[in-house]
Amino acid sequence: MSHTPDFQTLEAAATWYVQLNDGEIDEARILAWQQWLQASPQHAAAWERVERLHQQWARVPQQTALSRLSAAQKQRREALTVLSILLVMGGAGWLAVEHVPYRALLAQQHTRGNQRRTLDLQDGSRLVLNADTAVDIRFSALQRLIQLHQGEVLVQTAQDAARRPFIVQSEEGSILALGTRFSVRQLLGKTRVGVLEAAVQVRPLQSIHHADRLVAGQQVTFDCNRVSPPEHLPEGSTAWVQGLLSVNDWPLGTFLDELSRYRPGVLRCDESIRHLRISGTFALDDIDTVLENLGKTLPVKVRYLTRYWTRVEPA
């Protein structure tokens, strides 16, 4: 007997997906979903497709994935929207969702959600890619260009005999290195830049005749039109290079959102405990242990709905 889910089963899986993500999960709903999941191999196959969708979606640039996913989660009829996405996710069909994913998936260098990579460039510069990052490296006789499609990079520039400028290009503009070490992260509709050594110039896409100078110890975010006022660069902002996440008095919800970048599947936080505060340094290569230890310092517990579907709830 075939375990391939039919349209009705996929529709049910999509509906469960919506209900489990509407912020109002209760014990009865979780029990009903688990009973549905175990009732048929077709149900399990449909739900596996839902989880596979989440893993694939992690590779889509965030401004595409998040905008569509959040838009799909606003109303009960969103189940049909999610379902339509599920039905076209065979092979590379999901690439047609937007034009942007093509650039990211065809980029020269990639990292997965639990991977970091260090690249030594031809000019002696060094590029460290954080998890779920995609870049193109385009060196020419006139410039050294890093095209950041998604994710985060740490750049250590080297002196260039040809005196070519070193530029990181994001979706919202460009960052010109001025003999420096700095990080760039592509966020939803904006870019964040932090300088560890020397300085950079930040130039938004729609303000090509104006550049903001940023010096060591500062960070800014910018969109296509403007740059935010400089802020103090948080200590440990590049701890991810050593496989660590360093936080100081973060809201638990923000902490778990950041952890989810490095863990496959879905990691949710109950709204009632998102305000709890957390500090410390945590190993990104052993996130399950990090989650297990949360209950030792905070009044929370971790519930594993499936291998790839995890919720942190009040104890």
**CATH code: domain of residue 149:** 2.60.120.1440
pLDDT at 106 over 80: no
Q: What is the pLDDT of residues 114-133, one digit of tens each?
A: 889 999 999 999 999 999 89
Mean pLDDT of 150-177: 95
- The verdict on 62 and 155 lying in the same domain is no
Enumerate residues 6+ apart whose C-beta is below 8 A from 131: 111, 112, 113, 114, 115, 116, 151, 240, 261, 262, 284
Asked if the structure places residue 237 within a domain, the reply is no
Asked if the structure places residue 2 within a domain, the reply is no
- Last residue of one domain, picked from the residues 58, 81, 99: 99
| 149-186: b (≥16 Cβ within 10 Å) or e | bbbbbbbbbeeeeeeeebbbbbbbbbbbbbebbbbbbb
pLDDT at 196 (0 to 100): 97
Mean pLDDT of 39-44: 90
CA distances (Å), origin 87, targets 94, 195, 213 = 9, 44, 47
- The verdict on 186 and 275 lying in the same domain is no
- The verdict on 140 and 177 lying in the same domain is yes
Phi-psi region of 289 (alpha: psi -120 to 50; beta: other; left: phi over 0): alpha
Asked if the structure places residue 287 within a domain, the reply is yes
- The verdict on 111 and 227 lying in the same domain is yes
Question: Which residues form the domain of 199?
Answer: 107-232
| Overall domain count for the chain | 3
- Last residue of one domain, picked from the residues 202, 232, 262: 232
Q: What is the pLDDT of residues 185-238, one digit of tens each?
A: 999 899 999 999 999 999 999 987 789 999 999 999 999 999 999 999 999 999
pLDDT band at 289 (very low <50, low <70, confident <90, very high): very high
Cα distance between residue 136 and residue 127, in whole Å: 11
- Cα 138 to chain centroid distance, Å, stands at 24
CA distances (Å), origin 181, targets 59, 128, 193, 195, 247 = 26, 11, 11, 6, 21
CA distances (Å), origin 130, targets 172, 238, 239 = 19, 10, 10
- The verdict on 94 and 111 lying in the same domain is no
Pick the most confident of 4-8, 27-31, 75-79, 254-258. 254-258
Nearest to 182 by CA among 166, 161, 171: 166
pLDDT at 73 over 80: no
- The verdict on 67 and 116 lying in the same domain is no
- Last residue of one domain, picked from the residues 190, 205, 232: 232
- The verdict on 24 and 58 lying in the same domain is yes
- The verdict on 112 and 181 lying in the same domain is yes
Strands 266-269 and 309-314: parallel
pLDDT at 91 over 50: no
CATH code where residue 270 lies: 3.55.50.30
Report percent pLDDT > 70 for the chain: 80
- The verdict on 91 and 13 lying in the same domain is yes
Alpha-carbon torsion, ordered 228, 231, 235, 236, to 10 deg = 0
Which contacts of 294-299 are long-range, i.e. CB under 8 A and separated by 24 or more positions?
A: 298/252, 298/273, 299/273
Which of residues 22 and 307 earns the better pLDDT score? 307
What mean pLDDT, rounded, does the chain reach? 83
Residue 300 in tokens: 């929370």
Amino acid at 196: L
pLDDT band at 6 (very low <50, low <70, confident <90, very high): confident
Looking at 19-131, which runs of residues are DSSP E strands?
109-110, 117-120, 126-129
